[in-house]
Amino acid sequence: MQKRRMSTEMEFDANEEKLKTLCISSLDEEEDDEAQVDETDDPDLYNDEDDDDEEQVPVTLGFVEKPKNTWSLLRHYFPSKAGGTPAWLDPINLPSEKSSLCDFCGEPLQFLLQVYAPLTEESTFHRTLFVFMCPSMACLLHDQHEQWKRHPEKPCRSVKVFRCQLPRTNSFYSSNAPSEDGTEQHLTAGATLCNWCGTWKGDKVCSSCRKARYCSGKHQAAHWRSGHRLGCTQLHTSLELSESAASNSLWPQYVITNEDECEFEHEMSDSEYSNALVSGNRVDESVKSLMNDFAGDDDKRSWASFQEIISRAPEQVLRYCRSAKAKALWPVHSGRPSRSDIPACNYCGGTRVFEFQVLPQLLYYFGVQNDVDSLDWATIVVYTCEGSCKGNEGYKEEFAWVQLASQSAP
Ligand SMILES: [Zn+2]
Ligand SMILES: [Zn+2]
Ligand SMILES: [Zn+2]
Ligand SMILES: [Zn+2]
């Protein structure tokens, strides 16, 4: 099967395609929402399992692939990518230093993935969502605790999501689609980035060489230990500096390709039927063993149904659907948020809605070990401002709900 990139040709030239893929909500769907306003605390508003007769909302699945070239991951190609460094959409007005840190250990957050997801408004002609997280499982466990506090004064998180959007006419990119052969050279200068992580703004400078730049004292120390101690005084060019940046602190880099979930339902029914039976048996085994960990029948049922849906395309790392009817696929029944657990947009006060979720398969591609202390989650669900409000900030913080595999509601 031919996978296509979540790429520029689709977004620039095919508005119909965009509408189909991103499922923009229609007015009557919004009316549906208002009718249910009284039941704001009912988690089932997000998780109707019993409404099988309801029309299926098409989901776009994301898969990772090793990039065939490096230019396609540059920011003027508007990539969807996982691992490596972010391709900042607005290359100047990056998130503040405070937003860039894990609120528990104080380490700079690590880039997980970004999804290019433009909408139909002029102000959202380009639109990318960025997910960062602290690689420490201890911090994610703290994060779980904070997540259940409703409307904390200062939310503390180890998982953060940023939304950036630009109109078609903007100061960073041509209003025409970039060439598809990598010859596009008009890349405007961006903010100077940290020489260690290549992710965050490098506002701090090495006091000795006055060349190396860092986002934080921690990354300066890491760079020093890993060789800048020797390289510092012998620097001739900025090129040498960039070569010394430690990619070992980053997750391996992939391009995210996409595919409509319905494509896989077809596959199951004909040629790959025999394969499906094999993987189905395997899933059954793992479901049985994992189901013993769950206390309630609801959790067992929801885990089995999660596994069944995922097994149609077991390599998926992302499920995307921006529609008023879209819902997250929850692995565990009891650890789901209710509507009032999802805070309103910090910028316009509007409702946040489900946009996509990240699956633990990504950790496999990142080579994260399957140890007790290793980073692990069942799903990360991202909610974004329904109106995708404009505001003045380059990057607006959105909201992520993390469900761990062995978690139940407190
Ligand atoms: Zn941390
Ligand atoms: Zn850094
Ligand atoms: Zn130096
Ligand atoms: Zn908003």
Q: Which two tokens stand for residue 99?
A: 């937003």
Amino acid at 300: K
Q: Which two tokens stand for residue 352?
A: 């946040």
Alpha carbons 59 and 62: distance in angstroms, whole number? 10
Give the Å distance between the CA of 351 and the centre of ligand 4: 7
Alpha carbons 255 and 66: distance in angstroms, whole number? 6
Q: Residue holding tokens 């391996």?
A: 252
The residues, ordered by sequence, that sit 6+ positions from 275 with a Cβ below 8 Å of its Cβ are: none
SS3 per residue for 326-393: CCCCCCCCCCCCCHHHCCCCCCCCCCEEEEEEECCHHHHHCCCCCCCCCCCCCEEEEEEECCCCCCCC
Alpha carbons 225 and 219: distance in angstroms, whole number? 10
Instruction: For residue 391, give the ligand nearest its CA.
Output: 4
Give the Å distance between the CA of 235 and the centre of ligand 2: 19
pLDDT of 91: 97
Instruction: For residue 142, give the ligand nearest its CA.
Output: 1
Alpha carbons 211 and 235: distance in angstroms, whole number? 8
In this structure, what are the phi and psi dihedrals at residue 161, rounded to the nearest 5 degrees?
A: -120, 135
Alpha carbons 88 and 190: distance in angstroms, whole number? 9
Instruction: For residue 139, give the ligand nearest its CA.
Output: 1
> Residue 213 carries which DSSP code?
E
Give the Å distance between the CA of 100 and the centre of ligand 1: 11
Instruction: For residue 209, give the ligand nearest its CA.
Output: 3
Instruction: For residue 387, give the ligand nearest its CA.
Output: 4
Q: Are 131 and 117 in contact (CB under 8 A)?
A: no
Give the Å distance between the CA of 25 and the centre of ligand 4: 16
Give the Å distance between the CA of 156 and the centre of ligand 1: 10
pLDDT of 248: 63
Integer CA distances (angstroms), 357 to 68, 89, 206, 362, 400, in order: 25, 21, 39, 11, 9
Instruction: For residue 345, give the ligand nearest its CA.
Output: 4
pLDDT of 272: 44
Instruction: For residue 246, give the ligand nearest its CA.
Output: 2
Instruction: For residue 389, give the ligand nearest its CA.
Output: 4
Q: Are 80 and 131 in contact (CB under 8 A)?
A: no
Give the Å distance between the CA of 234 and the centre of ligand 3: 9
Other beta carbons within 10 Å of 236: 8
Give the Å distance between the CA of 65 and the centre of ligand 1: 28
pLDDT of 403: 94
Q: Are 308 and 291 in contact (CB under 8 A)?
A: no
Q: Are 347 and 396 in contact (CB under 8 A)?
A: yes
Using alpha carbons, select from 402, 382, 406 the residue that is nearest to residue 144.
Answer: 402
Give the Å distance between the CA of 402 and the centre of ligand 1: 15
Give the Å distance between the CA of 384 and the centre of ligand 4: 8
Give the Å distance between the CA of 224 and the centre of ligand 3: 8
Give the Å distance between the CA of 391 and the centre of ligand 4: 8
Give the Å distance between the CA of 197 and the centre of ligand 2: 4
Using alpha carbons, select from 389, 364, 405, 336 the residue that is nearest to residue 164.
Answer: 389
Show pLDDT as tens, one digit a residue, over the chain (410 residues).
334 334 433 344 433 333 333 333 333 333 344 334 444 444 444 444 444 445 678 999 999 999 999 889 999 999 999 999 999 999 999 999 999 999 999 999 999 999 999 999 999 999 999 999 999 999 999 999 888 887 777 889 999 999 999 999 999 998 888 887 777 666 788 999 999 999 999 999 999 999 999 999 999 999 998 888 888 877 554 445 554 455 667 999 999 999 999 888 755 544 444 444 444 444 444 455 555 666 678 888 888 899 999 999 999 999 999 988 899 999 988 889 999 999 999 999 999 999 999 999 999 999 998 877 899 999 999 999 999 999 889 999 999 999 997 644 33
User: H-type helices in 170-223, by residue range?
Assistant: 217-223
